[in-house]
Structures are given as structure tokens and as C-alpha cells.
Amino acid sequence: MTDTASHRHIPDRLERPWQRLAKSWEALLFVVLVAIFAINCVTSPFFLDPWNLSDATFDFTEKAIMALAMTFLIIAGEIDLSVAAIIALASTAMGAAAQSGAGNAELVAIGLGVGLLCGAFNGWLVTGLRLPSIIATIGTMSLFRGIAYVVLGDQVYKGYPADFAYFGQGYVFWAFSFEFVTFLALAVIAGIVLHRTIFGRVIYAIGNNPLGARFSGIRVTRVKFILFLLTGLASGLAAVMLTSRLGATRPSIAFGWELQVVTMVVLGGVNIQGGSGSILGVVIAAFVMGLVTFGLGLLNVPGIVMSIIIGLMLIAVIALPIVARRLLHQRKAA
């Protein structure tokens, strides 16, 4: 990549906003989303039902909430592969607390607190000790889930308070679940912070050129530390929701989710090497992944086949624009 020097095409005038929008990644994803929605409607008579659609959201909102935080982190040029392991550890801590009779408020506080602590540990490794985040978080991924295994072994924590189920199973109004409403609210907040605040611009600056950002007076390490905290907190929140939804904690909870979360973010058009991406893209990508999984589920397609489709989508969605751009360039050059 570094060897293919790209010569820049400088246009005479800027494209109109709607032109840029039409050519954007988000527009492409949205078309894909509409297509998937339409296909689902045709192939399954059970799809287009508000309660059914509401059920569909449960499967991806927890991952999507983590993906929102991961978006910030990846745009800043870092990554956190330990998010699913944080869920395991936070859920184990909540389970242990529930055994000794903790109430709802304590459980939520413990879930979020453990997430925050794990995020702080990751942040310290990356910003304090200056470890590459991909390796540091592979390490903490084993460490966090490993602690959950040490505590639980092959046991299960059950016996959460009855009203604890609200966070994962409750509805705010009509078919809108607590999980889904929380996700939408967080998505709006994340979008505003990333695209409309100085903090958001700073994240892009760091992702594009950390050294340049430092020379511009941006506290790069502090911002990165905050982003790891946020990712930990989001994982803690996801842990509260998932534990509440399942009503039980095993150490294998949310196994392999980190890859799905990263897939969601990359599918949403965020550059895995940092510097670009948008919340809107990630939100649409979350819906795309959720609806594909749910629609195939209605057709009785096994989960592992869905994962093939998700994998193909991840590669195709990134490869196709590259191929298209190359073909376009060839035509221009000819």
C-alpha cells in the first residue's frame, strides 16, 4: 500500500453535497439494506411484522453498542479485541454479586464498573506502556476471559433478581425494546460527538497522523486513553444487557463477538487503519448484519452458513469499490 503512490486528482470545483452523498459509502450500504429488507419480505411471510422485527433487533443491538465505541477507537488508529472478553468478566462479576444478593442498581454499577476498569487497563497498556493495541488486547482478551474461567470453571451463575430482566428483555413502549432505544440514543450521541464536536475532529486528526496531531497540541495519549475507557464502558453496558437477556452467565458468554463487532465497524466504511469513517455507516452496517442474520434464520439457515455470508460480505464490500475504482481509472487512462 505504501508502495503504490497514488497521484491525486484535483477537481475544478467541489461536488455538490447531494452528489457526494449519492456516491458515499453510506448510500451504497443503504441500498444494500433496502435490498436485504425487500428480499426478506419476499422470502418469508413472517418477516414484516412489528414484533418480529423487534425480535430481530435483540440479536445485534449489544454488538452494535460496542461497535459505536469501537468506531471511535478504530478511527483513532487503535483497536480493542478484548471487548467480548470484557463482557465475560463483567458478567461474571455481576453473577458473583447477584449470588450475594445484590440489587439492580448494584448489578448495573458493577457491570459498567468492571467494563470501565478493563478499558482503563487496556488504555494503560497502550498509552502508558506504548504497546501495539492489537497485541495488547489479544493478551487482555485471554486474561479477562481467563479470569472468568478461573472464577466459574464449568459452573453457571443464575438467580439474577426478577426485575433485572428489564435491561435485556423489557420494552420502553410498544415494540421498542430497552436495548434498541438505548442503542438509538447512543448512536445519536456518538454521531454528534464524532461529527459535530472538537473532540470528534481530534479523533480523526489522531487517526490520520498521530505525530502531526501531537505537534498541533492535541493530547494524543489522553484522548486514546479516554477512547479505551469508552470502549470498556460500552462493553460493560453490553454485558449488563446480554446477562439480563440470557439470565445466566457462563465464561464462554459472547465468545467470538470481537470479530463480529470489528466486522460491523469495517462494513460500516471505517478504515481499519484509522482516519476515516462515520457513525451513520456503522449504524446502517449494524442493521444490515442484523437483518441478514435474522432473515436467514427465518429461512432456517444454520448460523455457521450465515457467518460465511457475513465474511463474504466483509471482503466483497471492501474489495468491490477498489475493483470499481481501478476499472474506472483504466477507462480514464485509455
Beta carbons of 90 and 145 less than 8 angstroms apart: no
Q: Interface with other proteins includes 149 (CB under 8 A)?
A: yes
Q: Interface with other proteins includes 324 (CB under 8 A)?
A: no
φ, ψ at 18 (rounded to 5°): -70, -30
Task: List residues bridging with 177 in a β-sheet.
Answer: 171
Beta carbons of 37 and 48 less than 8 angstroms apart: no
Span near other proteins by CB under 8 A; candidates 32-40, 192-200, 237-245, 256-264:
256-264
Nearer to other proteins, 88 or 186 (CB): 88
Per-residue cell: 269: 466504511
φ, ψ at 172 (rounded to 5°): -80, -55
Nearer to other proteins, 150 or 188 (CB): 150
CA 83, distance to chain mean position in Å, is 9
Span near other proteins by CB under 8 A; candidates 24-32, 38-46, 242-250, 318-326:
318-326
Per-residue cell: 294: 435474522
Q: Interface with other proteins includes 1 (CB under 8 A)?
A: yes
Nearer to other proteins, 200 or 274 (CB): 274
Of 14, 162, 198, 304, the one binding other proteins (CB under 8 A) is 304
Binding to other proteins by CB under 8 A, coded x per residue (else -) over 159-178, reads --------------------
Least Cβ distance, residue 105 to other proteins (angstroms): 29
Beta carbons of 203 and 194 less than 8 angstroms apart: yes
Q: Interface with other proteins includes 318 (CB under 8 A)?
A: yes
Q: Interface with other proteins includes 83 (CB under 8 A)?
A: no
The distance in angstroms from the start CA to the end CA of the chain is 24
φ, ψ at 328 (rounded to 5°): -60, -45
Per-residue cell: 73: 477507537
Binding to other proteins by CB under 8 A, coded x per residue (else -) over 128-147, reads -xxxxxxxx-xxxxxxxxxx
What does the alpha-carbon distance between residue 69 and residue 72 come to, in Å, rounded to a whole number? 5
Of 172, 188, 299, 312, the one binding other proteins (CB under 8 A) is 312
Q: Interface with other proteins includes 31 (CB under 8 A)?
A: no
Least Cβ distance, residue 112 to other proteins (angstroms): 22
Q: Which residues neighbour 120 within 8 Å (Cβ) at sequence distance 6 or greater?
A: 225, 228, 229, 232
Of 56, 67, 79, 98, the one binding other proteins (CB under 8 A) is 79
Span near other proteins by CB under 8 A; candidates 51-59, 257-265, 282-290, 292-300:
257-265
Q: Which of 279, 63, 287 is nearest to 192 (CA)?
A: 279
Query: For the residues of 161-201, what is the DSSP string, one character each?
Result: -GGGGHHHH-EEETTEEHHHHHHHHHHHHHHHHHHHSHHHH
Which residues lie near other proteins (CB under 8 A)? 1-4, 77-79, 125, 129-136, 138-147, 149-150, 152-154, 209-211, 251, 256, 259, 262-263, 266, 272-274, 302, 304-305, 307-308, 310-312, 314-315, 318-319, 322-323
